[in-house]
């Protein structure tokens, strides 16, 4: 594991934040070009700061790499359209329609960001030499990596639009339905076409909402209506006791 000067509290304030962003951008450029083996001296020089400044902000190369990967994954979520679509879910009149639109914007941004794919593949390539990368990534947890999506799910839960008792698990499930298929296909040097992508989005949103929509009671009135119609009565989406 990379060792550096003993880290104190990370610098704060507008000037420190600009330096932090400069360091992350420099590290991203060099990690993608040279791999995780690039030295902290080179990163500091690329960012135009001292190596001590880099360690003051991040403490270790593993922490810096995690910040780089997290930033790339969250870039699509920081996009104006994506962020706005996610933020509006809790108040949307048509939740399914708004969710599909937000997911489409999000996935389109991910597919259009080649650094997301490149950095993920870099982690896979480097993990056997630097297992601490995986440990550093795991310590952040899903909500730490993707706060924009976590906040959207929390808002939906708080307003009773969804019943999400475990945000971290729901995040992994949502990413598995919408984003991870593209990362898997990219690992094999190919990509999902637009038709398959659209199906994954619509079906994925339906599956997610089916599971997390608050369950409605299957009332005696509903059963009577079902018998009167001649068809078996069934609860609405997400209403089964399973």
Is residue 229 situated within a structural domain? no
CATH code of 141's domain: 1.10.357.10
* pLDDT(191) > 90: no
Is residue 238 situated within a structural domain? no
pTM: 0.63
Q: Are residues 195 and 113 in the same domain?
A: yes
Distance CA 219, CA 236 (A): 11
Q: Are residues 35 and 94 in the same domain?
A: no
Higher pLDDT, 89 or 219: 89
CATH code of 28's domain: 1.10.10.60
Least confident interval from 2-16, 89-103, 106-120: 2-16
* pLDDT(160) > 90: yes
Q: How far, in whole angstroms, is CA 159 from its chain's centroid?
A: 22
Expressed as residue numbers, the domain containing 105 is 67-215
Q: Are residues 24 and 117 in the same domain?
A: no
Res. 213 pLDDT band, cuts 50 70 90 = very high
Q: Are residues 96 and 171 in the same domain?
A: yes
* pLDDT(142) > 60: no
Domain count, the chain: 2
User: What does the pLDDT look like over 23-59, one tens digit per residue?
Assistant: 999 998 998 888 888 999 999 999 999 999 999 999 9
Res. 236 pLDDT band, cuts 50 70 90 = very low
Q: Are residues 104 and 145 in the same domain?
A: yes
Distance CA 42, CA 51 (A): 9
Is residue 184 situated within a structural domain? yes
Residues 61 and 2: beta-carbon distance below 8 Å: yes
User: What does the pLDDT look like over 168-178, one tens digit per residue?
Assistant: 899 999 989 99
User: What does the pLDDT look like over 83-108, one tens digit per residue?
Assistant: 788 889 999 999 999 999 999 988 88
Structure confidence at residue 128 (pLDDT): 75
Q: Are residues 48 and 74 in the same domain?
A: no
């Amino acid at each position: 594991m990379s060792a550096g000067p003993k880290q104190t509290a990370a610098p704060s304030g507008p000037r420190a934040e600009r330096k932090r962003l400069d360091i992350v951008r420099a590290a991203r450029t060099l990690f993608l070009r040279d791999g995780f083996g690039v030295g902290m001296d080179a990163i500091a020089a690329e960012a135009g700061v001292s190596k001590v400044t880099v360690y003051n902000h991040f403490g270790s190369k593993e922490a810096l790499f995690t910040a780089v990967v997290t930033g790339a994954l969250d870039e699509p979520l920081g996009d104006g359209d994506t962020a706005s679509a996610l933020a509006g879910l809790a108040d949307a009149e048509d939740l399914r329609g708004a969710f599909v639109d937000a997911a489409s914007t999000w996935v389109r941004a991910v597919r259009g960001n080649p650094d997301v794919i490149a950095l993920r593949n870099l982690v896979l390539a480097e993990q056997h030499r630097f297992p601490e990368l995986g440990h550093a990534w795991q310590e952040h947890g899903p909500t730490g990596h993707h706060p924009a999506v976590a906040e959207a799910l929390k808002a939906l839960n708080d307003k009773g639009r969804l019943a999400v008792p475990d945000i971290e698990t729901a995040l992994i499930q949502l990413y598995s339905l919408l984003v991870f298929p593209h990362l898997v296909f990219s690992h094999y040097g190919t990509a999902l076409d637009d038709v398959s992508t659209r199906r994954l989005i619509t079906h994925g949103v339906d599956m997610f909402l089916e599971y997390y929509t608050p369950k409605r009671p299957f009332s005696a009135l509903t059963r009577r209506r079902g018998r009167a119609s001649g068809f078996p009565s069934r609860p609405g989406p997400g209403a089964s006791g399973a």
